[in-house]
Amino acid sequence: MKQYPKNLTYKKYHKVNNSFLSLIDQKQFFPMDGSFAIQSAEAGKLTFKQIESCRRTLRRGLGKGVKLWIRLFTSRPVTSKSIASRMGKGKGSISYWMAPVRKGQILFEVLCNSQERAFLVLNKASTKLPIKVKLLKLKY
């Protein structure tokens, strides 16, 4: 999975807070083609490491024949300055990338035949996420 976007309008962005994300939860998030999904129950932020560990858990548990869609992308850089630096002198370098998540957004979708196996693996993957999520059955 690609960690960050190829082109950005600005190199560094302002901080996104959760109260702002919770205001924009009116948008509907529709499923693609999957039969089971992980949906966010609250607004928050996910780092690339959290998304990647979730993806690895899903891929390892479901196997090769199962389709997997990742419906979010780390598009926002997060900067930090070193602890020993003094005040001022700029913003700081990019330390990691994060994806803002809205309430009700579908994060991962899986097209799988067995319901028990899908929910078992989705539950295991949802423990890697720092936000509250719901497991959905979309089709059939």
Evaluate whether residue 8 is within a structural domain: no
Evaluate whether residue 3 is within a structural domain: no
Evaluate whether residue 127 is within a structural domain: yes
pLDDT score of 23: 59
In this predicted structure, the answer to whether residue 26 has a pLDDT above a threshold of 60 is: no
User: Among residues 118, 107, 102, 122, which one has the least CA distance to residue 51?
Assistant: 107
In this predicted structure, the answer to whether residue 133 has a pLDDT above a threshold of 90 is: yes
Write the CATH number for 23.
Answer: 3.90.1170.10
Instruction: Fill in the amino acid letter for 1.
Output: M
Structural domains in the chain (count): 1
Evaluate whether residue 13 is within a structural domain: no
Pairing of strands 93-101, 76-80: antiparallel
Confidence of residue 27 (pLDDT cuts 50, 70, 90): low
Evaluate whether residue 1 is within a structural domain: no
- Structural domain including 133 reads 18-80+91-137
Evaluate whether residue 36 is within a structural domain: yes
Evaluate whether residue 76 is within a structural domain: yes
Confidence of residue 52 (pLDDT cuts 50, 70, 90): very high
Give the predicted TM-score (pTM) of the model.
0.82
